[in-house]
Structure 1
Amino acid sequence: MTDMQFQLDNFMLYCSSKNLSRKTLASYEQTLKLFMLYLKNEFQIEEVKKIQTGHMRHYIKYLRERGKYTVVAASNSNHNNHPEGRKDYNSEVSTSTISNYVRNIKVFFNYLYQVEKEITKNPMEKIENPKVERKFKQTLSPNQLKGIFNQFESSTFHGYRNRVITRLLLDTGMRVGECLSLLPENIDFQHKSIHVINAKNKQERFVYFSYKTANELKSWLRFRDRYSDSPFMFPTTKGTQLEVRNYERALRQAGEKVGVHVHPHLLRNNFAKYYILNGGDWFSLCRILGHSSVEVTQKAYLDFSDEEIGKKYQKHSPLTFIEEL
Structure 2
Amino acid sequence: MSVARAKAESIAAWLAQLATQRKLSPHSVAAYGRDLHELLVLSGDIAWHALAHNEVRRYTSKLHAGGLAPRSIARKLSAWRGFFDWLAGETALAANPVDGIRAPKRAKTLPKALSVDDCVRLVAPAPHQEGKTELDELCSRAMFELLYSSGLRVSELTSLDTHYHQADGAQRASLGWIDMASFDVVVTGKGNKMRRVPVGKAALVALSAWLAVRPPPQDGSAALFLSRRGTRISPRVLQLRLKAHALATGIPANVHPHMLRHSFASHVLQSSGDLRAVQEMLGHSSITSTQVYTALDFQHLSAVYDKTHPRAKVK
* TM interval, short-chain normalised: 0.5 to 0.7
Matches within 5 A, 1:146-225: 146-151=121-126, 153=128, 156-184=134-162, 187-189=177-179, 192-198=184-190, 202-210=191-199, 212=201, 213-225=203-215
Q: 1:152 and 1:59 mapped to 2: Cα distance?
A: 53
Question: What is aligned with 1:234?
Answer: 225
Is contact 2:151-2:260 (8 Å) kept? yes
Give secondary structure in 2 for the equivalent of 1:150. coil
Residue deviations 1:24-65, cap 9 Å, x none? Answer: xxxxx9997565323444457xx9xx9968558747866997
Q: Percent identity?
A: 17
Corresponding position: 1:139 with 2:114: yes
Opposite residue 276 of structure 2, the aligned amino acid is F
Residue deviations 1:270-315, cap 9 Å, x none? Answer: 1001111221521222232232311221124422256547989xxx
Opposite residue 237 of structure 1, the aligned amino acid is R
Is contact 2:215-2:230 (8 Å) kept? no
Structure having the higher Rg: 2
- Aligned CA distance change for structure 1 residues 168 and 2 (closer, same or farther; 3 Å): same
- Count of residues in Structure 1 that have an aligned counterpart in Structure 2: 253
Q: 1:178 and 1:100 mapped to 2: Cα distance?
A: 32
Q: 2:52 and 2:28 mapped to 1: Cα distance?
A: 13
Shift of residue 230, structure 1, vs aligned partner: 4.3
| RMSD after superposition | 4.7
Is contact 2:188-2:194 (8 Å) kept? yes
Give secondary structure in 1 for the equivalent of 2:297. coil
Matches within 5 A, 1:248-263: 248-260=239-251, 261=253, 262-263=255-256
Give secondary structure in 2 for the equivalent of 1:304. helix
Is contact 1:169-1:267 (8 Å) kept? yes
Give secondary structure in 2 for the equivalent of 1:194. strand
Is contact 1:196-1:207 (8 Å) kept? no
Question: What is aligned with 2:290?
Answer: 297
Gaps spanning 5+ residues in structure 1: where?
Answer: 13-28, 66-91, 114-118, 313-325
TM-score using structure 1 length: 0.58
Gaps spanning 5+ residues in structure 2: where?
Answer: 1-12, 41-47, 86-93, 164-175, 306-315
Give secondary structure in 2 for the equivalent of 1:254. helix
Opposite residue 189 of structure 1, the aligned amino acid is D
Question: What is aligned with 1:69?
Answer: none
